[in-house]
A and B are shown apart, each in its own frame.
Chain A
């Protein structure tokens, strides 16, 4: 009788100890300043800022969660950081112009989109040897994978298209015309739809990727840009860069369920482990803004470097 409760209790204790052990850090990439900011999330102060490389735009954790990878687009390199301290541990050179990066869910592929040079590169995720360079029409920006890791989807910002690449054949299998200047892209948890932020308009394009057709538009705000999941497996946040708002979208009903203020050109975001606060880079304000999701107030703005873009909370909400 006591087995189940004890199992839950031990799981809860493990989670709690993991949460306590996780350092209170936020890592922010100042893309136009070539620096990385480390913020103490407890005191909400920048504790360190150091040169990281040219045009760092996006960052992500390695699949084993040991490192953070910073993609330095103009330095042609990936920088591996200790995930818990933000210290530089390794630099992988000769990664050509990495803008947005990502491992496939099965960890078999590592894909890098080169926004400026109109190309997508597929790498071996162990050795980072390039396997294939695939030229694409103008400005491939963000990427998302199919749940089975067979396809990677890329938004083409300057031709207003979505491109689907078969990772086995490493060829573009189809393209679909979508809204103006598509940016962030995200797969819904049920694997049915792709959500795409339409930067040149005020909506999210919902694409039924299996049927290769547009499903619906979710109107959010001007400059619909990028996504982050709340962590409940049901909701996702979207930054509306020109509207200076954040929209909360229900990924099951595909509707906007809430809206929040987000001054200074909101860009990338992350959610705290307790799902109470949303941290975002305020691109034009050179600040990180912290939104209280309950009171809908910006509770703090922390000055960082110029054009802050990627942000990562070491202690963050589940990525689901």
Chain B
């Protein structure tokens, strides 16, 4: 974004090229499709989703280009086969390229707009939240408690276990979540957005920024941010402890290091564990042979079986 006293010539070449691609894809592929399908009412929305798709694709490429070399250089674990990580790539692409977000948007928006409309008909105008950083902090706080409850309640853990069952954790693993769990998380985030009046554009910006941090924290990299840094931002070491067999889902709080971005929540609520050890990841009962599934659909199905008891 430009500062308020400069001309548009200040835009970088990269941004300009990105915008040209965005326009080209929208005008030549997306908009003609919308017109043909009589969905022109969604053209502004589709334009934003095209933007999200391109940003997501760019983010995935950048993360791969930046984090993958680190994983090769400073790996915590070396595996003979990386086959188990492939399904995480699928989860990541579904989430970061906007496929799942648009599905959740379609499912959730009518209900949230209806609630919003009823609130206003009653004469209540929700506040308008302008501070991006405060919004990030608020969402991270909600994510912390959602994450704690995912470990605390068995029915919710049955879904979240999909995420923890990865024993070859890499930066692709962040988006490995059960679809129903992702829908619940999206609904909670949307509820926060509604409560504080955050527009979708802010939501997208925040999601992209936090997603990059969360991808990095899952990386198979022997790296901490140091004694102080690990208390300020979730590092690969800090989050690996959360995924560690024998630690990540045990004890009075059913785990530790639940924070997604800011470890301060763990410190404040007594769930921080600053153990300096790069431990194997997974769920305890995997050692005794429990199957959580290797493929996408089997992982989804087994989660429902666990929920049913």
Chain A interface residues toward B at CB < 8 A? 32-35, 45-50, 53-55, 74-77, 93-94, 96-97, 114, 116-119, 130, 133, 135, 139, 157-158, 180-181, 199-200, 222-223, 241-242, 244, 264-265, 283-286, 302-305, 307
Collect the chain B residues with CB atoms within 8 Å of residue A119's CB.
Answer: 117, 120-121
Report the minimum CB–CB distance from B195 to chain A (whole Å): 14
Assembly CA distance A158 to B40 (angstroms): 10
From B30-38, B56-64, B183-191, B213-221, the one touching the partner chain is B30-38
Q: How far is the CB of B150 from chain A (nearest CB, A)?
A: 31
Number of residues in B with C-beta < 8 Å to the partner? 36
A87 to chain B, nearest CB (A): 12
Q: A32-B48, A47-B7 are in contact. List 7 more A-B contacts (CB 8 A).
A: A33-B1, A49-B4, A76-B197, A117-B116, A199-B43, A303-B8, A307-B44
5 tightest CB-CB pairs across the interface, nearest first? A303-B8, A117-B117, A50-B4, A74-B199, A200-B40
Most buried by A among B4, B11, B26: B4
User: Which residues of chain A are within 8 angstroms of B5 by Cβ–Cβ distance?
Assistant: 48
Number of residue pairs A-B, CB distance < 8 angstroms: 108
Overall SS of chain B's interface = helix
Interface status of B274 (Cβ within 8 A of chain A): no
Determine the chain B residues whose CB is within 8 A of the CB of A133 once the complex forms: 120-121
Please indicate the chain A residues that have their CB under 8 angstroms from the CB of B9 in the complex: 303
Q: Provide the residues of chain B in CB contact with A116, threshold 8 Å.
A: 113, 116
Q: How far is the CB of B133 from chain A (nearest CB, A)?
A: 15
Contact B35 A222 (CB under 8 A): yes
The digit string for B103-146, where 1 denotes a CB below 8 A from any CB of A, is 00000000001001100110101101000000000000000000
Q: Are B128 and A46 in contact (CB under 8 A)?
A: no
Q: Is the Cβ of B23 less than 8 Å from the Cβ of A285?
A: yes
Which residues of B have CB within 8 Å of A74? 128, 197, 199
Bitwise, B9-43 to A at CB < 8 A (1) or not (0) is: 10100000001001100110001100100101101
CB-defined A-B contacts under 8 Å, sample of 16 = A48-B5, A50-B4, A54-B201, A74-B128, A76-B125, A117-B113, A135-B117, A135-B121, A199-B40, A223-B35, A244-B27, A264-B27, A265-B31, A284-B22, A284-B31, A303-B8
